[in-house]
Every structure is written in structure tokens, then in C-alpha cells.
């Protein structure tokens, strides 16, 4: 079905593997287009309740963009490339009402680091390396790297990484708050799935509400507190909230139906 991705759906968790190991899974136009199609399905397919993004092989999550596609770009083309990727993939991942988690198994550089940061949170193998090396090309990140890195690790650390192009290892990424957990390579996907299975036992509409409200912190166009208040109120009209409250009072496990 896809030329650059491997996809599998098990227990309502869709695992999406960027599969260009000979190019260290670098992002090219085909990868971006196919990721866009995957998230069309994620948004519309009720059987998909969570997503894991990872890379093929032990060396790389995504080692950056495919630089061979940059040589013919001018200012207009570069802006169009960045805007298309942001709108069709990166922003849609960040705003997805279903949890999307990056399982980073090696290099996450440039567009790869940006892809991981667009996810709701990240796990990393001990061999993972993160960086934004765009200044080495005379460029800056174009898929949200300057914004999300600053949000996640703070302005000072982000600017140092952006200006130096230095990589950080998994332990440092964990210290900075860029990743939530560091595991062995063997435990990376199992641990990611275990965390998602816990999340999937909760009320899906409430999970989506938490994602929307948390994202509102960084949206200057809206008031995050007002967003939280609105969602809090709206959820009282859902069957899941009634079920959750009733189950708590009856001291039983809730049976949520995303309604």
C-alpha cells in the first residue's frame, strides 16, 4: 500500500515505520505524502485508537530531510515545501485527537527530530541521538523545529542546539524533557505499547480533550484556560462521563464507548 512506510494495526494501535533504511529513513516528498495519507486514515478510521511512529533498522528514526531534493529550491519553493509538510503532516500529528507517540530508535536529526517533537510524547532507545543541524546547510528548521524545541526544552537550551547543530544523546534528551523514557532497543516498542494500552483504557473523548487543551497552551489565538473550561463542561454531556462517574461511585471498572 505504501512505498516508504510499513504499517501494522494490532489491538487498535497503528505502528507506522518510516522504511528507507538505505537513506537512514530520510524524509523525502514521498514520505511526507504517504504520512499525510496515513493520518487521513488515523483521523477517519475508528479502529485506530493510537499511533506509534518509528524508523526502520537499528541506526535511525529519521536522519533528516533528503537533501538531494533541496538543490533546485528557491525562496518560494522552500516556503512551499515547509508549509505543505507542516499543514499535511506535522501540525496534524500534533493536533490529532488520538495519542501519537514517537519511538525513537537511533538518529532523530533535522526533520526527524521535528517529526518526533510533533508527536504527543517520545520514548527513546539508549542509542538515540537528537539534533537540528540545519545551520550546517545555511538553513533553519522548516517543520516546526524552532518552535517545538523551544517549547519542550526551554529557550536557552533550544537556541544552543539550533545554533551549534550539536547532537544530544538519549540521556541528555531525557534530562532536558525532550523524551519521557529511555529504554533498551529491545524494550522500546513494547514499553511504548504498554503506555498506550494504559491510555486506551481511559475515556477516548477525555483523552482527546486533554490533547486539545494542552495544545492550547501554545496557541496565541485562543485562551487555554477558556479552552479547558469549555471542554470540561462539554464532556459532562457525554455518555462516557456519565459512565465514568457512575462506575467510580459503584466501585467498578468503567466501560467507555467514545460517546
Point out the residues that are catalytic: 114, 134
In our burial notation (b when 16+ CB lie closer than 10 A, e otherwise), range 7-27 reads beeeeebbbbbbbbeebbbbb
The four Cα atoms 111, 116, 117, 121 give a dihedral, to 10 degrees, of: 180
Length of the chain: 259
Cell of 248: 467510580
DSSP for 36-81, please give it. Answer: HHHHHHHHH-TT--EEEEEESSSSEEE--B-GGGTTT--HHHHHHH
Q: What is the rounded end-to-end Cα distance, in angstroms, of the chain?
A: 32
DSSP for 188-219, please give it. Answer: HHHHHHHHHHHHHTS-HHHHHHHHHHHHHTT-
The neighbour count for residue 210, using CB atoms within 10 Å, is 18
| Residues 23, 131, 8: CA angle, nearest 5 degrees | 50
The neighbour count for residue 3, using CB atoms within 10 Å, is 10
Amino acid at each position: 500500500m505504501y512505498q516508504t512506510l510499513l504499517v501494522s494495526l494490532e489491538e487498535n494501535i497503528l505502528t507506522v515505520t518510516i522504511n528507507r533504511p538505505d537513506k537512514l529513513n530520510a524524509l523525502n516528498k514521498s514520505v511526507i505524502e504517504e504520512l499525510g495519507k496515513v493520518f487521513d486514515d488515523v483521523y477517519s478510521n475508528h479502529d485506530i485508537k493510537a499511533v506509534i511512529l518509528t524508523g526502520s533498522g537499528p541506526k535511525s528514526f529519521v536522519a533528516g530531510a533528503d537533501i538531494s531534493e533541496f538543490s533546485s529550491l528557491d525562496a518560494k519553493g522552500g516556503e512551499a515545501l515547509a508549509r505543505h509538510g507542516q499543514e499535511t503532516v506535522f501540525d496534524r500529528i500534533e493536533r490529532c485527537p488520538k495519542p501519537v507517540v514517537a519511538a525513537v530508535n537511533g538518529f532523530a536529526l533535522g526533520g526527524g527530530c521535528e517529526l518526533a517533537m510533533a508527536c504527543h510524547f517520545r520514548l527513546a532507545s539508549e542509542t538515540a541521538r537528537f539534533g537540528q543541524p540545519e545551520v550546517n546547510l545555511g538553513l533553519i528548521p522548516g517543520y516546526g523545529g524552532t518552535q517545538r524545541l523551544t517549547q519542550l526544552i526551554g529557550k536557552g537550551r533550544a537556541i544552543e542546539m539550533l545554533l551549534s547543530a550539536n547532537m544530544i544523546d538519549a540521556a541528555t534528551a531525557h534530562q532536558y524533557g525532550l523524551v519521557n523514557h529511555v529504554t533498551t532497543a529491545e524494550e522500546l516498542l513494547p514499553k511504548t505499547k504498554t503506555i498506550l494500552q494504559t491510555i486506551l483504557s481511559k475515556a477516548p473523548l477525555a483523552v482527546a480533550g486533554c490533547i486539545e487543551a494542552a495544545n492550547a497552551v501554545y496557541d496565541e489565538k485562543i485562551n487555554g484556560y477558556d479552552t479547558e473550561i469549555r471542554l470540561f463542561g462539554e464532556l459532562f454531556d457525554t455518555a462516557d462521563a456519565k459512565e465514568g462517574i457512575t462506575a467510580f461511585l459503584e466501585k467498578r471498572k468503567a466501560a467507555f464507548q467514545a460517546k
